[in-house]
Amino acid sequence: MRPWETFEVVVIGGGHAGIEAAHAAARIGCETALVTMDVRAIGRMSCNPAIGGIGKGQIVREIDALGGVMGKLADATGIQFRLLNRKKGPAVWSPRCQSDKARYAEAAQRLILSTPRLTVIEGVADELLVDGDRIVGVRLQDGRVLGARAVVIASGTFMNGLIHIGLETQPAGRIGEPPAVGLPESLRRLGFEMGRLKTGTPPRLLRESVRYDVLEVQEGDPDPVFFSFDTTSVTLPQTVCWITYTNPEVHEIIRNNLHVAPMYCGRIRGIGPRYCPSIEDKVVRFADKTHHQLFLEPEGLDPDAWIYINGLSTSLPREIQEEIVHRIRGLEDAVIVRYAYAVEYDFVLPHQLKHTLETKRIEGLFHAGQVNGTTGYEEAAGQGLVAGINAALKVRRRPPLVLSRHESYIGIMIDDLVTKGVEDPYRMFTSRAELRLLLRIDNADLRLSEYGYRIGLLPEERWERVQQKRARLRRAIEFMNTCRPGPCLKPEQTHPVPLKGHETLAVLLKRPEMTLDRLLEAYDVPEIAGLAYEERYSMELEIKYEGYIRRQLQELERMKKRLDLRIPPDFPVDRVPGLRKEIVEKLQKYRPETLADALRIQGVTPAAVVLLSYYIDRWQRTGRVTS
In angstroms, the Cα distances linking 118 to 8, 20, 305, 384, 434 are 11, 12, 31, 15, 38
Q: Burial level of 431, CB count in 10 A (0-12/13-18/19+)?
A: middle
Average pLDDT for the chain: 93
Q: Cα–Cα distance between 261 and 316 in angstroms, integer?
A: 5
pLDDT surpassing 70 at residue 549 = yes
| Contacts of residue 115, Cβ cutoff 8 Å, sequence gap at least 6 | 22, 23, 26, 27
pLDDT digits (tens, 9 = 90+) for 409-459: 999 999 999 988 898 999 999 988 888 889 999 999 999 999 999 999 999
Pairing verdict, β 50-52 and 94-99 = antiparallel
Instruction: Report the number of secondary-structure helices (H) and strands (E) in the chain.
Output: 21, 22
The percent of residues in the chain predicted with pLDDT above 70, rounded, is 99
Give how far the C-alpha of residue 169 lies from the chain's centroid of Cα atoms, to the nearest Å: 29
Residue 545, pLDDT > 70, answer yes
Contact 81, 225 (CB under 8 A): yes
Predicted pLDDT of residue 1: 40
Q: Give the pLDDT of residue 505.
A: 93
State the virtual CA torsion across 398, 404, 409, 414 in degrees, nearest 10: 70
In DSSP terms, which residues pair with 242 in a beta bridge? Answer: 217, 296
Provide the pLDDT for residue 627: 65
Query: What is the amino acid identity at position 402?
Result: V
How far apart (Å, rounded) are the C-alpha atoms in residues 101 and 298?
9
- 265-318: per-residue pLDDT in tens? 777 877 877 777 899 999 999 999 999 999 999 999 999 999 999 999 999 999
Sorting pLDDT into bands at 50, 70 and 90, what band is 606?
Answer: confident
